[in-house]
């Protein structure tokens, strides 16, 4: 009966050859490139669009920024399928309920007392850190939910999160896709 050692050696050589051929024939893009690179003007997707203003994002979201809103921040991210839009501002508590009512949530927004934790070490899904803000998922005492799941115009969906900054002000976070 032949020894198992030559078979193991042959199997090892075959596995190494297979691994090398798979690596050489890989269709992965080269570092610094993207599958959709041509459609983004040579830019790697996703990417943040420079110079985006709160007024532009508010239009994309079909939202009117309240007159007394301060510290307005906005971002537009080109994505693979949908583009992401972020809008955040500080609003006097006296104006928050009226602002939410104008958005017309399809159901009641939910309040949570504790931050969300995934337990997997994953980063939050909404990139408000790009705006220099804490992620709503990492905060306690947040009221949040969908504002529209079937939205008008190019907007696919829109979510809101509201967190008290102090006794007189709330931080409003809007996150959507176009």
What are the per-10-residue average pLDDT scores of the chain (178 residues)?
46 39 37 42 86 97 97 96 96 97 91 81 73 94 92 93 98 97
Residue 163 backbone phi and psi in degrees, to 5: -130, 130
pLDDT digit string (tens) for 8-20? 444 343 334 333 3
Could you tell me what percent of the chain has a pLDDT over 70? 71
Residue 43 confidence (pLDDT)? 77
Question: pTM for this structure?
Answer: 0.74
Question: CB-based burial of residue 144 (10 Å sphere; 0-12 exposed, 13-18 middle, 19+ buried)?
Answer: buried
pLDDT for 68: 98
> What does the pLDDT read at residue 107?
86
pLDDT (0 to 100) of residue 9: 42
Beta bridge partners of 126: none
């Amino acid at each position: 009966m032949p020894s198992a050692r030559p078979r193991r050696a042959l199997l090892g050589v075959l596995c190494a050859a297979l691994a090398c051929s798979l690596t050489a024939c890989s269709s992965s893009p080269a570092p610094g490139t993207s599958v959709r690179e041509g459609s983004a003007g040579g830019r790697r997707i996703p990417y943040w669009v420079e110079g985006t203003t709160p007024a532009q994002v508010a239009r994309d979201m079909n939202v009117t920024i309240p007159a007394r809103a301060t510290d307005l921040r906005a971002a537009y991210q080109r994505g693979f399928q949908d583009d992401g839009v972020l809008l955040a501002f500080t609003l006097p508590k006296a104006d928050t309920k009226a602002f939410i009512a104008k958005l017309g949530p399809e159901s009641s927004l939910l309040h949570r007392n504790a931050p969300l934790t995934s337990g997997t070490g994953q980063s939050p899904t909404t990139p408000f850190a790009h705006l220099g803000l804490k992620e709503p998922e990492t905060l306690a005492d947040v009221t949040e939910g969908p504002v529209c799941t079937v939205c008008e115009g190019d907007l696919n969906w829109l979510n809101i999160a509201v967190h008290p900054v102090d006794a007189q002000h709330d931080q409003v976070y809007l996150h959507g896709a176009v």
